[in-house]
Amino acid sequence: MNPMQLSEATLAQARAAVARPGYVRETCRVGWLHFGLGAFHRAHQAYYADRLLEQDPRWAISAVALHSSGVRDALASQDDLYCLVELAETAQLRVIGALREILVAPREQPAVFARLEGPETRLVTLTVTEKGYCLDGDGRLDLEHPDIVHDLRADGEVRSVIGFLAEGLRRRRARGAAPFVVVSCDNLPDNGPTLRAAVAAFAAEHDPALARWIEQEVSFPRTMVDSITPATDANLIARVRAESGLYDAWPVQRERFTQWVIEDVPAARIADWDAVGVTLTRDVSVYDRAKLRVVNGAHSALAYVGLLRGHATVAEAMRDPQLAHYVECLLCEEVAPSLRTSGALDIAVYIEATLERFRNPSIRHQLAQIAWDGSKKLPVRLLPSIVEALSAGRPFARLALALAAWMRFVIGRARAGGELTDPHALRLLALGRACTDVPEQDVARFLGLEDVIPRTLSAVPQFETAVTEAYRMLGASGARLGTERE
């Protein structure tokens, strides 16, 4: 029993420095449905909703947890209030009131569909991670994915977010209601069009007319989302208790920096985004390519190389001079040439700002967290930079090293008998166990993963040689980097 748990009733007792909802929650209406109730959603989109609600009561969120009831259970006795800690030298605590309802998809399908169907729902957003899209190696809907196979059987129960969207849109269309806008907030290139194609492909299996309607009438603007959000841990819970005076069962934390760029299409102009710091722009690709390749690409490189070098967090890895030098050269020499500087974004400035964010000592961002789901992340974070470097005849040895470090990481997990958080975990662990430290053979095994590394890339001898060389170096040197001495 926590007598001073955060809730509507105790909110007034939070310490004065804690920011709280600047609106009356009871008068807010749910106009926004969100799939994927992870920390990122609660730290990012819900924060923007919280600010929108200060001027417009239509933007309260109904959030759908696709699998677990953990967050719903934790927030149930808090009236769905929770604390967001913005990490900086002096942290800012903010109680977020934007969640007005939490649904757990496996148990509450009718309620989810009622929200999807209801015309008051104008915006549907997603943070379901790369794997939640059920895509194949070419970025198209994987019709053999078990969840898609299941949902296409159409026995009434839906598992995948793709199935929810297709069925929700079908019902909307059947009622003659206007569609909602769908905004993917995951780190995928061209996330909007990719999602639209996946939902339309799903619909086409049963109803080609619905698929055409989705293609033509439903808006899926591209977006770029950015804010470093370390997982919640016991320290955060203790900190919130100490600094707010209230117990919060599941607070979230992120760096103070936050960015949301949405493609400026007419359907996206449904809220006063500008007033809350969201950028609307015609050309999101400038931002999303830079974000994926610089922030996420460097994160993944730091994660795999950093873990091999015995580091635990991003800031710790950045205090390792060789590793910091490696990642800076990776970005400036191998990634930046594939990106264009525009009026909106100066790549050199962007890289420097990113490295500064990584160095932030107030943030304990676990490398192990970033290392999750490598088979889904690397193809969008590192491989495009390699493909472009190859075709332009530019160097890519450091990018190859990051990829080789992922292979070493997988093998390490396999040999330790450990677990791997990855949709292909079983296959990867078996592959890792089969490796014998003969670089050519081990790398060839990984390059055979066609849904991770496309054949068009793995068949390029120069690529295979570079990865094999990097792999050899990592193994022989205990993850010493190129310029280091014995």
Name the residues that contact ligand CS2, by CB under 6 A: 187, 226-228, 295-296, 299, 369-370, 377
Nearer to ligand CS2 among residue 370 and residue 435 (C-beta): 370
Minimum separation from the CB atom of position 36 to ligand CS2 (A): 13
CA gyration radius for the chain? 23
Are 296 and 371 spatial neighbours (Cβ–Cβ below 8 Å)? no
DSSP for 350-400, written as a single string:
HHHHHHHHHH-TT---BHHHHTTTHHHHHHHHTHHHHHHHHHHT---HHHH
Q: State the nearest-atom distance from the C-beta of 287 to ligand CS2, in Å.
A: 12
Tokens for 57, please give them.
């009561």
In the bound complex, what is the minimum distance in angstroms from residue 104's beta carbon to ligand CS2? Answer: 23
Nearer residue to ligand CS2 within complex by CB, 49 or 302: 302
Please tell me what DSSP assigns to residue 230. Answer: P
Find the shortest distance in angstroms from Cβ 185 to ligand CS2.
Answer: 10
Task: Calculate the alpha carbon distances from 222 to 135, 194, 279, 288, 336 in Å.
Answer: 17, 9, 12, 9, 22
Question: Residue 314 CB, nearest distance to ligand CS2 (Å)?
Answer: 9
Question: Tokens representing 150?
Answer: 């299941």
Mapped onto helix, strand or coil, the DSSP state of residue 311 is: coil
Strands 92-96 vs 82-87: parallel, antiparallel or unpaired: antiparallel
CB of 351 to ligand CS2, least distance (A): 15
Residue closer to ligand CS2, measured from CB, 11 or 43: 43
307: enclosing H helix or E strand = helix 297-308
Burial state string for 406-418 with b = 16 or more CB within 10 A and e = fewer than 16:
bbbbbbebbeeee
Residue at shortest CB range from ligand CS2 = 299
- Distances in whole angstroms, Cα of residue 184 to Cα of each of 133, 191, 262: 10, 6, 10
**Cβ 152 vs Cβ 205: under 8 Å:** yes
CB 302 within 8 A of CB 284: no
Task: Tell the smallest beta-carbon distance from residue 135 to ligand CS2 (Å).
Answer: 17
Q: In whole angstroms, what separates CA 111 from the centre of its chain? A: 26
Nearest CB to ligand CS2, comparing residues 172 and 398: 398
Q: Given the complex with ligand CS2, which of 49 and 53 has the nearer CB atom?
A: 49
CB atoms within 10 A of CB 266: 9
CB nearer to ligand CS2: pick between 151 and 190: 190
In what helix (H) or strand (E) does residue 314 lie, and over which residues does it extend? helix 314-318
- Tell me which DSSP letter residue 205 carries: T
Nearest to 365 by CA among 406, 411, 422, 306: 306
166 vs 367, beta carbon nearer ligand CS2: 367
Nearer to ligand CS2, 347 or 378 (CB): 378
Residue 142: strand, helix, or coil: coil
Q: Which is nearer to ligand CS2, 159 or 293 (CB)?
A: 293
Q: How far is the CB of 101 from ligand CS2 (least distance, A)?
A: 26
Least distance in angstroms from the C-beta of 384 to ligand CS2: 15
